[in-house]
Structure 1
Amino acid sequence: MLSSTRNRIQLIAAVVLLTPLFLYWAFSDSDQKSDQAAAVVSSGVDYFMRDTTAREFGTDGRLVQRLHATSLEHYPKQLQAQLAKPEITVFKANAKISAQSEKGTLFDNEDKLLLEEAVTVTHNPADNDSTQLDTSRLTLHHKRGIAETSAPVTFRSGQSITTATGMTVDYNTQISELHSNVEGTFHVDKK
């Protein structure tokens, strides 16, 4: 009897002493693994999408803009997503503005999309001929309605061509400011 009571006491003491050690081992190992996983994620891509489309709707339910890319890779440490072949379309009351490029960068905490390499913007008003802008780099600020670059730009509308270095376009006021080296050739239809 004495030995069975003694064995029970030893067993209870072992459980009481080993339980905290086991719990520490179990939880500290998983914390270390999750810390290692978090370190890997923060230094690389934490998510990606292929053939992705995002749409923004206004309070009236109408489509305001659409962004499509063949791929999107998000980098949490840089607070940005890299886009392959992004295409963005902004829908206005009487016009549609489309922009596309080979690469793009969408910034997490800013209302900013940077388009790079073979950037083309087409403005298609409902009642006029379209205007096309070509450049190598363009930053779009959607909420402000601003597009800007310091790179060379070429505007084409019908047979008219205007070139410049750097520009700012305000899509709300429809005012374009060409910064320097402005040259243009305008063709007027004879009626």
Structure 2
Amino acid sequence: MLLNQSKARVAVASTLLLPLLAYWIINPDDVQETPTQSALSQGADYYLKGSKVKEFDEQGKLKATLSAAELTHFPDQALSRLLSPSVEMQDEKGTPVTLTSKTGTLFDNEDRMTLDEDVRVTHNPNMPDASLLTTSSLNFDRRSGIASTDLPVKITNQQFETTATGMTININSRTSDLLSDVKGTFYVEP
């Protein structure tokens, strides 16, 4: 009799669970896609998480490091979308420069990339006299070290603050052209 009650319970449980299982199989829309599945469904051919790419010169010296929390490559568009990209490099004098943003685009077969949303260029980031450039979008040619934007920029360090609309900066030679609406404040120590 105890065996019959156990069989009855299993039969009732199976009867109750069978419709739920069938619903889950028939309606997979409720299942959330992972970023990889989403990217692949949008035409991506590969997706990297926590990527780090190092570029070396002809003598084997490290030129730059590109890191990204996520990198998704779209071959039909000949580009990669980046989440939290960071470029670490050095200017001609060997001073470190870091470029970061929330999102970015790296173009295939070109040395060009675009950084978007909370773009920050930090010159000499590990020193107290570091300078910081902020803007909302920046075009960057990695080979020439030229960065440009037509949008508002702000450049700050301990001694000054400068704002402008539009800018071209040569990261290697440490020169910049501010295009319009230039305003500066210099902090003088007594």
The range that moved more, 130-139 or 59-68, is: 59-68
Q: Please name the residue that 2:90 is paired with.
A: 91
CA distance in 2, matches of 1:175, 1:50: 35
Change (3 A) 1:125 1:44: closer
Residue 149 of structure 1 aligns to a residue whose secondary structure is strand
- Indicate the residue corresponding to 2:70 in structure 1: 71
Unaligned 5+ residue runs, structure 2?
Answer: 1-39
Alignment CA distance shift 1:116-1:139 (3 Å): same
- Residue-by-residue CA offset, 1:85-144 (whole Å, 9 max, x unaligned): 001101234300101100000000221010000001100189982110000000110111
Which residues in structure 2 correspond to 1:25-174 (within 5 Å)?
44-92=43-91, 93-124=93-124, 129-174=129-174
What is the percentage of aligned positions where both structures have the same residue? 41
Q: Point out where structure 1 has 5 or more consecutive residues left out of the alignment.
A: 1-40
Q: TM-score, normalised by structure 1?
A: 0.73
Q: How much does 1:174 deviate?
A: 1.9
Query: Deviations along 1:39-92, whole A, 9 cap, x unmatched?
Result: xx8961011100000001122222110000010000111100000000110123
User: Separation in 1 of the partners of 2:120 and 2:152?
Assistant: 13
What is the root-mean-square deviation in Å for CA atoms of aligned residues?
A: 2.1
Paired residue total = 150
**In structure 2, how many angstroms separate the alpha carbons of the residues matched to 1:42 and 1:75?**
11
Q: Which residue of 2 aligns with 1:176?
A: 176
User: How far did residue 167 of structure 1 move?
Assistant: 0.0
Query: Aligned AA for 2:79?
Result: Q
User: How far is the alpha carbon of 1:147 from its aligned partner?
Assistant: 0.5
AA aligned to 2:70 is S
Other structure's SS at 1:71 match? strand
